[in-house]
């Protein structure tokens, strides 16, 4: 680092059944355009299984894609005293209930107020598979999505967890308050999700992209809202938020994806909560389920809806 340049490397694990071009895959995983990605690929800054390749490389299950973006004068994340709700911790993993409004790792516009900064403050040992900017991070939650997250404390644990996410053996259950009512009480939605061609910062249901599978169930209905449970069978960027919009009832408070209920215009972000996460412990092999109650703002809105007439409570 004597030349003032720091390389920010991120590794992606390709899930089963991808069979997708390298540039298309990374366009859906990052904010970069395919033309920018082509320059990075041609320059050797993107590797598949450690090897230089071309844009048209078809990715298959188990492939690892490493993206290295040179960043001039970049500073490494620094410890910062940010409160953390720790659900579980041992020598291999730490499980937290991420608060709404906390970004997971440093990025453009936010270099020191993230989950990573909070973990560093605790002195927690973290894996370095994803480089110095995303230590320990195996999966992510959006800034305004709260709830259960698991973080790897060493590289062996990271590899095990990454494999579980890639092979879809992790069970992720979310609960959300929606702006509107879903037509069906339950269903399984399968679409493609890719970058929105009209806004690269957002995602959309597209004709091509990456397969996204979401199982949903309405728990309670109110006159203008419903509470729904979502089980993710894939892990696409903004998947629940995009699918909720596609189904005609965006997540309440999600102005990016269409929530417009003026009664709750003061909400900082979407009322989407990761309620439970089931993993296999990297060392013991034990199946473990971690849960977290929704945050205060979620509960406050839910209580206000309960004061209205309940249209229907769905039986399990």
- The residues assigned a catalytic role are 142
Q: Sign of torsion, CA 137 139 143 148? A: negative
Length of the chain, please?
316
Helix (H, G, I), strand (E, B) or coil at 15: coil
Can you state the angle between helices 22-29 and 34-42, rounded to 10 degrees?
Answer: 120
CA–CA distance, 214 with 26 (Å, rounded to integer): 21
Strands 86-89 and 64-72: unpaired
Sequence-ordered list of residues with C-beta below 8 angstroms from that of 169, at least 6 positions apart, any chain: 280
Helix (H, G, I), strand (E, B) or coil at 37: helix
Q: 């899930």: which residue's tokens?
A: 15
- Identify the DSSP state of 255: G
CA–CA distance, 45 with 156 (Å, rounded to integer): 25
Sequence-ordered list of residues with C-beta below 8 angstroms from that of 289, at least 6 positions apart, any chain: 171, 276, 277, 278
Dig out the tokens for 17 from the structure: 């059944």
Strands 93-98 and 171-179: unpaired
- Identify the DSSP state of 212: E
Q: Which residues pair with 192 in a beta bridge?
A: 206, 211
Burial 210-224 (b: 16+ CB within 10 A, else e): bbbbbebbbebbbeb
Q: Sign of torsion, CA 81 87 89 92? A: negative
């Amino acid at each position: 680092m004597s030349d003032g340049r720091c390389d920010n490397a991120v590794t992606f694990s390709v899930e089963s059944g991808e069979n997708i071009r390298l540039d298309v895959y990374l366009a859906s995983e990052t904010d970069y355009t395919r033309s920018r990605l082509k320059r990075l690929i041609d320059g050797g800054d993107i590797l598949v299984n450690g090897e230089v390749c071309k844009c048209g490389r078809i990715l298959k299950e188990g492939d690892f894609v490493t993206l290295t973006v040179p960043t001039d004068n970049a500073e490494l994340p620094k410890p910062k005293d940010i409160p953390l709700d720790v659900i579980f911790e041992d020598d291999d993993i730490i499980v937290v209930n991420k608060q709404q409004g906390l970004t997971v790792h440093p990025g453009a516009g936010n270099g020191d107020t993230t989950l990573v900064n909070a973990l560093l403050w605790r002195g927690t040992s973290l894996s370095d598979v994803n480089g110095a900017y995303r230590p320990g991070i195996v999966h992510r939650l959006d800034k305004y999505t709260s709830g259960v997250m698991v973080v790897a404390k060493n590289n062996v644990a990271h590899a095990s967890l990454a494999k579980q996410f890639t092979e879809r053996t992790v069970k992720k259950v979310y609960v959300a308050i929606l702006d509107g009512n879903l037509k069906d009480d339950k269903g399984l939605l399968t679409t493609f999700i890719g970058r929105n061609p009209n806004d690269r910062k957002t995602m959309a249901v597209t004709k091509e992209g990456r397969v996204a599978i979401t199982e949903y169930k309405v728990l309670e209905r109110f006159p203008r809202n419903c509470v729904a449970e979502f089980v993710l069978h894939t892990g696409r960027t903004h998947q629940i938020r995009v699918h909720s919009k596609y189904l005609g009832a965006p997540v309440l408070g999600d102005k990016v994806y269409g929530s417009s209920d003026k009664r709750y215009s003061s909400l900082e972000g979407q009322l989407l909560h990761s309620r439970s996460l089931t993993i296999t412990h990297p060392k013991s092999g034990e199946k473990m389920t971690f849960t977290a109650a929704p945050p205060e703002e979620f509960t406050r809105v839910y209580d206000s809806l309960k004061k209205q007439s309940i249209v229907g409570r769905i039986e399990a």
